[in-house]
């Protein structure tokens, strides 16, 4: 049995999110939780929320039964680029510079072994 979760429009760049996703893919959920607790990256907090949601969705699919986290693993995980927010900031001599704020769609599929 597998469950999925996604977080659309997360305020993080896709490159930073993908770097963490490559470390998480294929590992057990308990191992992932331990790893995310000590990694000093912004994307670690984002991925923890999405994985928590996927595990909760797995519990719902099993109709309220408790889920043994030792047998649950991250089957697939990916980060797609979302829309880019374009902002302007004033500069010297009447000019303006564009600031791009990236968003990301975070997706996780967890399954039982």
- Predicted model pTM: 0.89
CA-to-CA distance for 63 and 97, rounded, in angstroms?
53
Q: Residue 111 is encoded by which pair of tokens?
A: 């399954």
Q: How confident is the model at residue 3 (pLDDT cuts 50, 70, 90)?
A: very high
Q: Across residues 19-39, what is the average pLDDT?
A: 95
Q: Which of 87, 89, 113, 102 is nearest to 14 (CA)?
A: 102
Q: How far lies 12's CA from each of 15, 25, 69, 75, in Å?
A: 9, 19, 28, 22
34-73, pLDDT tens digit by residue?
999 999 999 999 999 999 999 999 999 988 788 889 999 9
Contact 6, 105 (CB under 8 A): yes
CATH superfamily of 2-112: Ribosomal protein L22/L17 (3.90.470.10)
CA-to-CA distance for 23 and 44, rounded, in angstroms?
11
User: What are the residue ranges spanned by the domains of the chain?
Assistant: 2-112
């Amino acid at each position: 049995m597998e469950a999925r979760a996604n977080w659309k429009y997360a305020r993080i760049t896709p490159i930073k999110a993908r770097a963490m996703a490559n470390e998480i893919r294929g590992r057990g959920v308990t191992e992932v939780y331990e790893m995310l607790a000590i990694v000093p990256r912004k994307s670690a907090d984002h991925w923890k929320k999405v994985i928590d949601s996927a595990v909760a969705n797995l519990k719902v699919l099993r109709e309220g039964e408790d889920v043994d986290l030792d047998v649950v693993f991250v089957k697939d995980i990916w980060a797609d680029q979302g829309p880019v927010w374009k902002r302007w900031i004033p500069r010297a001599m009447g000019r303006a510079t564009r600031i791009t704020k990236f968003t990301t769609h975070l997706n996780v599929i967890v399954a039982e072994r």
